[in-house]
A and B are shown apart, each in its own frame.
Chain A
Amino acid sequence: MLKTIISKEFLKNIPRLLKAGFSKESLKNAPRLLKATVAKELLKICHTLRLLKVISAREFLNNLLNLRFIMGLLLCVVITVACMAILAHDYRQELADYDDRVNMQDDFLSNYATHGALFWTNRHPKPPERFRPLIMGTVRDNALASFDANPLPILFPYLDFLFIVTIVMSLLALLFSYDAVTGERQRGTLRQVISNSISRTTILCGKFIGGTASLLIPFILALLVGVLYINLDPTIQWDGSAWAELGLLTAASITFVTLFYLLGLMVSTLSRYSAVSILNCLFLWVLLILVIPNICPYVSAQIYRIPSIKETERRNREIERRSLELARKLQTEVIKEFRSKYGKLFAEWESMKLAGVGDAGPEHRKAAQQRAADPEFRAMIDAFREESSRATRPAFRARGKEEKILWGDLERKAAQQTKLARYLACISPLADFVYVARDLTGTGLRALKHFERVDGEYRGRVWKYADKKLEEGREKNPAFNRESFIDLSNRPRFAFKEEALRDKLGAVLPYWGILVAFNVVFFVAAFAGFMRYDVR
């Protein structure tokens, strides 16, 4: 009632205001008039807000007393806490395992390191992600390529926080909203509400606020309980950035959940009966959550073909063989040349070398060391080394180039395909959310790449250190080679640092934006549907 009076008076005022604007007395009356209208407008807003509060509180309480709420609460709390407790335990095991691996590597590199073995033993293990109790990280390829890799996760992917949000919460959100409009219409209460002086916008907003509040409160509570449980453990310590990431993760989850609430609301405003509305909701849910994300990588693999990895490997081996043949041919020429040049001296060296330095016993090595004291012999060795490496260089260079082209081509095409799959999957909010959550918490593909980068840099540093050691050894002893022990106990240590939050956020924001856009679209559609809704 009040609202209609206010708006009528306001309407009456408009011509007078306009007239006053042009007349001369207006200068005197204007402030008072303006003040009055502003006050009335404020009153109107206050009134609407009060109504909004009433509607949302009603929706909230209505949900609270519902079976749905109790079930939802139960499911959410039980699964979240159980899952986090189990995963926290798993995380502790993983940490212990990681320590074992680091110790093993340390032991090896300190006691048995040789320059030749560095290639296989220099890979630093990936520390477990700190968000692992919440989200299981994606695994590195080389772990899956083992003969003994555990195949069970292929059949049953692990259950984690991502699952809880994407499956359980989205389903609950739809269950809370599918009959928000249709159910009230069927019961007849919607007609009564609308016959009052409440605008449809207020009702819709009230429903949204109340509904999402009743949905999110158990969710956030469960999450808090889980996180607190995780942080009770002294071995797990989260710093400020981790808490910031958790906050952002929660915000992203809220965006995702409201998206599905709005989807349900939209479907509800577009249908007449709850039975139809729930079917449509579940149909959309199945498509968006269960079908599109899973089918997209396969579709993209069909659309954008890439060369088979097996075929590429085969061609690579061919290149390798050809270049080795070439190198051998080139080297025989050098050997021929040296034979004619140095004669017996070279034959002596050849007999030592052909025995294989790696295979040579201690007596051989000793002999080599003694021989190397001879300056002539030494000069010959150096010359030979230089000459043969110079001669074979074009062969290896050509091979490197060819290999680079081959793998570069595959890599480029694979990147294209991945990109296509990524963009195709964006239609599904689940995929968007998975990207956001994983990349934000450092458990996704981006984190893997980041680790590869850090690890690569670290390996480079270790290589450099080892090269220096090798040089030092060679200077002291000419028989010192790639199979001799080098002391790496003072090597640079590996230190892993999470990617900066700002970088992560920058990568994540587009996908988050899509989620927000979905929210807006669904809200607008729900709004339009509700405006035209026949409440009878």
Chain B
Amino acid sequence: MAPEDKVERAIREKLSFTAAAKLRNRMLARVLDALKRSQGRGQSVLTLIIAKELRHSLFSYKFSIVTVLSTVLILASTYVMYRDYCLARDNYEVLRSESDEAIAVIPPTPLSIFARGLDENLCRSFGVGGTNIEVSEKQQSVNEIFKLFTAPDLLYIIKVILSLCAMLFAFDMISGEKETGTLRQSLSGSLARPILIIGKWVGGFASFILPFFIAVLLGTILVTLSPKVDMSAQDWAKMGLFLLSSTIYLAVFFSLGLLVSCLTHQSSSSLVISLFVWTTLVFVIPNLGNVLARQLVELPTVQQLELRRTYNRRKAYFERNRADGLERRRIGERARAEADQVSEEYRNRFNRLAMISQNITRISPAAAFTFLATDTMGTGMAEERRLKRAVLQYNHTIRNWPGRRDRYPVFSYQRSSCREALGPGGLGNLLILVLLGILSCTGAYVAFMRYDVR
């Protein structure tokens, strides 16, 4: 009988307003109490599910293998990249000590240990003052094998290997339980589906992300203990942002794995689909999108640009030798203006290409994550663009320097701060990651609501 009916009957029976009010209050309190109790039960069930999921993963073979793999890889990569950083640091010392020429050179950032990105490009020395900006050779150009493979930094490990591990963690959470029959049993009780799926997500993801955090912390602490690595507060903030974005990135892949698991009924097929999705998102879209973007913007190769510059310079030199005073000056100025125009045009086109290829590849979380991580760590495309602009500015200053050669101003450059890195582009990448995470989570939730557990 509903409480309202009871109340009405009480009114009718006792015809006393106060008694009815009392009764109503008591009934209300009881209802509230029941509600609270059920909520509490829901919470306790959720914690139970999470604990079960945690325990289940902690004792599984999968957990041990992924933990061992990620720990070893992260530590090894941190060490290797740390040594590489030391080498870059030494090179920087050598470059800085040469002050007889006007050069622009910046020190490597310690964050390049974790996300190397374009740091090697950024830390080359740029000799300014001439018609051309002279770029020094990279240290790695000596060993040719570097050209064939990518750098194994933390960013690479998270982007490629840990995303695979995240999908491996999630791919049989639902379909595997269905196959073993335990899913049917759990849902035959009074357990609500939302609680089960939320519990699974939280428990599974926690058991996956914890070892990762421990390994990263260990690596970071070991590296920062070294006197050569000097991390400022700004750097720590960047590192925190990097870890946050990698957590979101891994959550995207975990949710995608769960979504795939909710859409299939056999764990073997969910594995196949998961790997398919992983390959497409991590490799195919970013790498193919990059080539595709090149077709959309007509851009001569950089070799052609360099040749054009060389020939223009030589042509001007040739003509100057055959002209007299006033004419010679005009030729020099014309050649310089021409060279500037060619470079300017090339750079504009190149910036368009970079933007288009970023926009094409960004649909993949791996690309969005790469852009976001390298930009926050100060080793990305945005930083490169910024540095180039600064170098060009410096070049301009040096060219028009009225004073003596040995009084050249020193090139100074500050890598972009955390807030700058999270400018429009960076924030967009972060939003894309969050959006993809929410989408796949919701997808998994909805798919599980409709899942046939038999």
* Chain A residues, CB < 8 A from B91: 308-311
Task: Decide yes or no whether A514 CB sits under 8 A from chain B.
Answer: no
* Chain B residues, CB < 8 A from A22: none
Q: Please report the C-alpha to C-alpha distance between residue A79 and residue B285 in the assembled complex, in whole angstroms.
A: 10
Q: Is the CB–CB distance between B150 and A152 below 8 Å?
A: no
Task: Decide yes or no whether B53 CB sits under 8 A from chain A.
Answer: no
Q: Is the CB–CB distance between B318 and A114 below 8 Å?
A: yes
Which partner residue on chain A sits nearest B84 by CB separation? A298
Stretch at the interface among A142-150, A199-207, A385-393, A467-475: A142-150
Q: Please report the C-alpha to C-alpha distance between residue A86 and residue B360 in the assembled complex, in whole angstroms.
A: 15
In B52-108, which residues have CB < 8 Å from any A CB? Answer: 61-62, 65, 69, 73, 76-77, 80-81, 83-84, 87, 90-91, 94-95, 97-98
Task: Decide yes or no whether B229 CB sits under 8 A from chain A.
Answer: no
* Chain B residues, CB < 8 A from A279: 61-62, 65, 168
Check A150/B61 contact, CB under 8 A, given A86-B291, A309-B141, A310-B95: no
Task: Decide yes or no whether B286 CB sits under 8 A from chain A.
Answer: yes
* Chain B residues, CB < 8 A from A282: 164, 168
Q: Please report the C-alpha to C-alpha distance between residue A82 and residue B276 in the assembled complex, in whole angstroms.
A: 16
Q: Please report the C-alpha to C-alpha distance between residue A437 and residue B317 in the assembled complex, in whole angstroms.
A: 45
Task: Decide yes or no whether B31 CB sits under 8 A from chain A.
Answer: no
Give min CB distance, B130 to chain A, whole Å.
Answer: 11
Q: Please report the C-alpha to C-alpha distance between residue A434 and residue B302 in the assembled complex, in whole angstroms.
A: 26
* Chain A residues, CB < 8 A from B307: 101, 104-105, 125
Stretch at the interface among B17-25, B214-222, B264-272: B264-272
Which of B161, B314, B370 gathers most chain A CB within 10 Å? B314
* Chain B residues, CB < 8 A from A434: 148
In A207-255, which residues have CB < 8 Å from any B CB? Answer: none
Q: Please report the C-alpha to C-alpha distance between residue A155 and residue B150 in the assembled complex, in whole angstroms.
A: 9
In B320-375, which residues have CB < 8 Å from any A CB? Answer: 321-322, 324-325, 343, 346-347, 350, 353-354, 357, 361, 367, 370-371, 374
Check A97/B301 contact, CB under 8 A, given A71-B272, A291-B73, A294-B151: yes
Give min CB distance, B69 to chain A, whole Å.
Answer: 6
Q: Please report the C-alpha to C-alpha distance between residue A143 and residue B135 in the assembled complex, in whole angstroms.
A: 11
Q: Please report the C-alpha to C-alpha distance between residue A45 and residue B321 in the assembled complex, in whole angstroms.
A: 87
* Chain B residues, CB < 8 A from A299: 80
Q: Is the CB–CB distance between B137 and A145 below 8 Å?
A: yes
Partner among A152, A296, A359, A418 whose Cβ is within 8 Å of the Cβ of B354: A152
Give min CB distance, B441 to chain A, whole Å.
Answer: 24
Q: Please report the C-alpha to C-alpha distance between residue A422 and residue B144 in the assembled complex, in whole angstroms.
A: 9
Q: Please report the C-alpha to C-alpha distance between residue A163 and residue B283 in the assembled complex, in whole angstroms.
A: 9
Partner among B271, B273, B283, B304 whose Cβ is within 8 Å of the Cβ of A100: B304
Give min CB distance, B362 to chain A, whole Å.
Answer: 12
Task: Decide yes or no whether A290 CB sits under 8 A from chain B.
Answer: yes
Q: Is the CB–CB distance between A294 and B142 below 8 Å?
A: no
Please tell me the size bucket of the interface on A: 35 or more
Q: Please report the C-alpha to C-alpha distance between residue A107 and residue B295 in the assembled complex, in whole angstroms.
A: 28
Partner among A83, A121, A168 whose Cβ is within 8 Å of the Cβ of B288: A83
Task: Decide yes or no whether A269 CB sits under 8 A from chain B.
Answer: no
Q: Is the CB–CB distance between B276 and A121 below 8 Å?
A: no
Task: Decide yes or no whether B133 CB sits under 8 A from chain A.
Answer: yes
Q: Please report the C-alpha to C-alpha distance between residue A89 and residue B295 in the assembled complex, in whole angstroms.
A: 7
In A397-437, which residues have CB < 8 Å from any B CB? Answer: 410, 414, 417-418, 421-422, 425, 431, 434
Check A159/B350 contact, CB under 8 A, given A291-B152, A297-B149, A301-B84: no
* Chain A residues, CB < 8 A from B350: 148, 150
Give min CB distance, A92 to chain B, whole Å.
Answer: 10
Give min CB distance, A441 to chain B, whole Å.
Answer: 14
Could you pull out 13 A-B pairs where Cβ atoms are within 8 angstroms? A86-B288, A89-B295, A90-B291, A94-B301, A101-B307, A121-B314, A138-B144, A152-B354, A168-B279, A275-B176, A291-B73, A421-B145, A485-B318
User: A: which residues have CB within 8 A of B?
Assistant: 67-68, 71, 75, 79, 82-83, 86-87, 89-90, 93-94, 97, 100-101, 104-105, 107-108, 112, 114, 117, 120-121, 125, 138-139, 141-159, 163, 167-168, 171, 175, 179, 183, 274-276, 278-280, 282-283, 286, 290-291, 293-302, 306, 308-311, 313-314, 358-359, 361-362, 410, 414, 417-418, 421-422, 425, 431, 434, 438, 444-445, 483, 485
Which 10 A-B pairs give the minimum distances between C-beta atoms?
Answer: A159-B287, A414-B142, A421-B145, A294-B152, A310-B94, A147-B133, A298-B80, A297-B145, A294-B149, A112-B318
Assuming A67-B272, A301-B87, what are 19 further A-B pairs, CB within 8 angstroms? Answer: A97-B300, A120-B310, A121-B314, A144-B138, A146-B306, A148-B302, A152-B354, A153-B290, A155-B117, A156-B286, A297-B149, A298-B80, A298-B151, A309-B138, A310-B94, A314-B97, A410-B142, A414-B142, A418-B143
